[in-house]
Amino acid sequence: MGFGRMGQQHARLLSRLNGSVRLVGIVDPHADLSVMDSDIAGIPFFLSCKDWRESGNSADLMLIASPNGWHPVHLGYAMEMGMPALVEKPLCIRSSQALDLVNRAESLGLASWVMMQARLNPTLVHLKELVDGGELGEIFQVDIQCYWNRDASYYRPGGWQGDPQLDGGTLYTQFSHVIDAVHWILGPWTRIQADIHNRTHQDLHRLDDAGRITFEVGGSALGTMVYSTSAFGGNLDQSITVLGFERFDEQMVERDLLDDLLFVGLFHGLGPHALWI
């Protein structure tokens, strides 16, 4: 469901699975058919869910890669058909919608997943193991920095990116993976305060492009997040720094995280220590 940039990426990846999982249909009234390569050619194409349902085409799972604001509607279609669904992040752009969707899926006994693949990243898995195992001691601070670039080539006229009803904003479309990762590793955020702005994109959209967030996590750890989509020339940085108080042995682990080469470092000795990724 949805054949934009992410839908096309999913379709290409599915075509490489040697038939273990097959793409049986594509639904998108606005798709650019010129991007369909030989791996995707021949897949049935539909302009709406209604057309797909009436065609007799069947599937075991709906993969939803439509604009953010349409996710609840398309997930609702999957639930009506009793079909499990995998939804590109974010699940939706309003918390009330999220609660309704979760309650509905649970009442129907249907599996509905949100694609947060950063949880499978080896570096983040390792960090979670360290935190869960107590190897970082008591976590007392976490700092998140995200400096990306999104310019006029991304916010194209007529596109859904930057539309308040379809996009939701930078924290939904760009940085939800890192927010989810910290939530997954350290627990729910509380005492949240946010200061958000549109500094350099006023002529492109009416959403935020920069902000500063403070929160508490894991019971008492202080948290900060600063972000921007105004970095010059390309994505500059996405990092998480975790501070804990404990003695541990020195080790270095190098991993690739979200297309950037980052490092995890643990330093031995007494007193406060830092883990950065």
Rounded alpha-carbon distances, angstroms, from residue 135 to 7, 120, 219, 270, 276: 40, 20, 17, 13, 14
**Per-residue pLDDT at 58:** 87
8 Å CB contact between 277 and 257: yes
What is the CATH number for 99? 3.40.50.720
In whole angstroms, give the CA distance from residue 36 to residue 45: 11
What is the CATH number for 199? 3.30.360.10
Q: Which domain holds residue 183?
A: 118-276
Structural domains of the chain, count: 2
The pTM score is: 0.85
In the block, residue with structure tokens 């939706």: 92
In whole angstroms, give the CA distance from residue 149 to residue 135: 35
**Per-residue pLDDT at 246:** 64
**Per-residue pLDDT at 250:** 46
Q: Are residues 84 and 161 in the same domain?
A: no
Pick the last residue of a domain from 47, 81, 115: 115
Q: Are residues 266 and 142 in the same domain?
A: yes
Lowest-confidence region among 42-51, 120-129, 141-150, 189-198: 42-51
Q: Are residues 15 and 37 in the same domain?
A: yes
Using left for φ > 0, alpha for ψ between -120 and 50, and beta otherwise, residue 169 falls in left
Which residues are CB-neighbours of 156 under 8 A, at least 6 positions away? none
Pick the last residue of a domain from 95, 115, 135: 115
